[in-house]
Every structure is written in C-alpha cells, then in structure tokens.
C-alpha cells in the first residue's frame, strides 16, 4: 500500500518544525516530504512528489496560499494554516477545506488528522464548493477590496482628535477603555482591543497580548523571555510591551 505523503508550506521555519513534530507524533506513518518556504517552491515540490495532503500557510511572500491552492486544482487534500482565525470559514467545517490556527493546538490537529485519514482512504477530493470557498478566502485577504481603519477618533477635553492610524505606535487596554499612543500624545477611546484587532490592517498591526496591539513599523526590537514569551520595545518610548506565547509567532523571524 502506498504511504500517504504530505507537504508543509510555511515561510516560518519554527512553525514548520513544530507542525512536523506534531505530525510525527500523531500520525507516525505519514510520509513528510521536503518543506516549502514559499508558494513557488510549494508548487515545484507538489509537482515533483504529488503529495496527498498539503498543509498550507495563507500569508506568504510572493504567491499566497489561496493562489497556490488554486494551482493545485483539487489534486490534494488542503489544510490551511493561519494566524488569523477570521479565515476559519464555516465552509471549512462543512468539509471543503480544513484549517489550523497558529499556534497549532495538538487536539485540533488530531481532529484534522482523523478527517484526513478518511478522505485519503476514500480518495475523496472534497466537495464541489471548494472553488467558492477559495474565492471567499481570497476576498478576505488584506488588500482584497477591504478598507481597514484609517483614522481613530479620540476625545481630548472638549475637542475630538483625529489620529491617523499609521502614526499609532501601539494600543493597550485600560479597564473599559483602550489607550492609543502616538508620537504626539496619548488618548483613551471607548473601543475594545478585540474590535480594533478586526478593524486594523493585519499586515501592519499585530496583537502581542490579549491587551496590546502594536504597529510593526514602530518596533525597534523584540527580546525573547522565558516560557515562549517576549517583550517588544517601541521606538522613542521607554515602556516595554508584553508578548504572550499565543502571539509570539508574529516575531519568529524578526
């Protein structure tokens, strides 16, 4: 019987290593071929090895995961790996594609493996809705017609200040408010970190902690700590911002 082959595609080396380690433990008979670091390499390895399963990052330099998936044209089972849970569409659960959210939860991966075993055994390529799901995903990618927050309105005394989003250094939860910090000052707004995380462009702003969002352009350095945590230093500021283990993947390659 031919061994089931899988390809891992992700531009972050540590995440590739961790996924490979999880798969080796949870599905030891799975044959893992060479990893791919970007979309072009993924397609080259796909044509060379014809894997049955592809674990595919959505956000990659060059060809993104959606474009790679379309080029593979239903010739493999797809599992998208993403740092953004908003891509976990309902259609995934209906069987068109599966997904894993970074950092990968071994229990969630075990569920995915169970479904993949069944599909591979049946040589099942997925429902006809796959193309529609890929289109919906493409529409959600940054720059695909979506308008992200451009200004933040903050009350300062009797006036309202319009703060350009690209000038914001970071945002931090303060009780029922959120503190907005930019080079010219600070202000409190009545909008939660969760709401702001959905409204800000994820290519420029990342959540580092359940209470903090930082502008990547403002980061001067990231210092690793214990237990997969870190600290973010912001240009021109003395304060240090926390990075919890759930969000450390944003800074793996910095």
Q: For residue range 109-164, list pLDDT tens digits in order.
A: 999 999 899 888 776 555 455 566 666 666 656 555 557 888 998 887 777 888 99
**pLDDT exceeds cutoff 70 at 105:** yes
**In the numeric block, which tokens belong to residue 191?**
């909008």
Backbone angles phi, psi at 190, to 5 degrees: -95, 60
Predicted pLDDT of residue 213: 95
Give the pTM.
0.53
The position carrying tokens 């600070």 is: 186
**What's the whole-number mean pLDDT along residues 206-224?**
91
Task: Report d(CA 215, CA 204) in Å as an integer.
Answer: 6
Under the banding of pLDDT at 50, 70 and 90, the label for residue 90 is very low
Query: pLDDT over 70 for what percent of the chain?
Result: 83
Length of the chain equals: 254
Under the banding of pLDDT at 50, 70 and 90, the label for residue 84 is low
**pLDDT exceeds cutoff 50 at 18:** yes
Task: Report d(CA 78, CA 115) in Å as an integer.
Answer: 11
Is the model more confident about 59 or about 215? 215
With a CB cutoff of 8 Å and minimum separation 6, the contacts of 123 are none
Predicted pLDDT of residue 128: 53
Structural domains of the chain in order of their starting residue, each with its CATH number:
5-140 (3.40.50.2300), 151-251 (2.40.50.40)
Is the model more confident about 82 or about 252? 82
Q: For residue range 223-236, list pLDDT tens digits in order.
A: 988 878 899 999 98
Under the banding of pLDDT at 50, 70 and 90, the label for residue 86 is low
| Residue 56 near residue 78, CB atoms below 8 Å | yes
> For residue 138, what is the enclosing H or E element?
helix 130-140
Query: pLDDT over 90 for what percent of the chain?
Result: 36
**pLDDT exceeds cutoff 80 at 88:** no
Predicted pLDDT of residue 91: 40
**pLDDT exceeds cutoff 70 at 253:** no
Predicted pLDDT of residue 65: 83
Predicted pLDDT of residue 115: 87
SS (H, E, C) 60-112: CCCCCHHHHHHHHCCCCEEEEEECCHHHCCHHHHCCCCEEEECCCCHHHHHHH
Question: Beta-strand (E) ranges in the chain?
Answer: 5-9, 31-32, 53-57, 77-82, 98-101, 151-156, 159-164, 170-174, 177-182, 185-189, 205-209, 212-215, 219-224, 230-234, 240-243
| Residue 69 near residue 20, CB atoms below 8 Å | no
> Among residues 233, 222, 227, which one has the least CA distance to residue 246?
227
Predicted pLDDT of residue 27: 96
**In the numeric block, which tokens belong to residue 173?**
């939860």
Q: For residue range 27-55, list pLDDT tens digits in order.
A: 999 999 989 988 888 988 998 999 999 99
């Amino acid at each position: 019987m031919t061994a089931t082959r899988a390809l891992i595609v992700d531009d972050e080396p540590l995440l590739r290593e961790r996924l490979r380690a999880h798969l080796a433990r949870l599905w030891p008979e799975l044959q893992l071929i060479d990893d791919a670091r970007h979309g072009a390499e993924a397609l080259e390895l796909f044509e060379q090895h014809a894997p049955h399963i592809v674990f595919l990052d959505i956000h990659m330099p060059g060809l993104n995961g959606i474009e790679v998936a379309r080029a593979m044209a239903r010739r493999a089972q797809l599992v998208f790996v993403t740092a953004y849970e908003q891509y976990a569409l309902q259609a995934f659960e209906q069987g068109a594609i599966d997904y894993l959210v970074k950092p990968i939860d071994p229990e969630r991966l075990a569920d995915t493996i169970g479904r993949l075993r069944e599909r591979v055994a049946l040589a099942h390529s997925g429902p006809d809705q796959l193309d529609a799901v890929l289109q919906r995903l493409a529409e959600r990618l940054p720059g695909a017609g979506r308008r992200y927050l451009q200004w933040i309105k903050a009350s300062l005394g009797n006036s309202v200040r319009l703060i350009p989003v690209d000038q914001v250094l970071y945002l931090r939860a303060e009780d029922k408010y959120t503190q907005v910090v930019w080079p010219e000052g600070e202000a409190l707004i009545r909008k939660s970190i969760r709401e702001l995380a959905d409204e800000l462009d994820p290519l420029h702003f990342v959540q580092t902690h359940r209470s903090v969002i930082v502008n990547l352009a403002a980061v001067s350095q990231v210092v690793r700590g214990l237990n997969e945590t870190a600290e973010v230093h912001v240009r021109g500021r003395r304060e240090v911002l926390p990075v919890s283990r759930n969000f450390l993947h944003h800074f793996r390659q910095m």
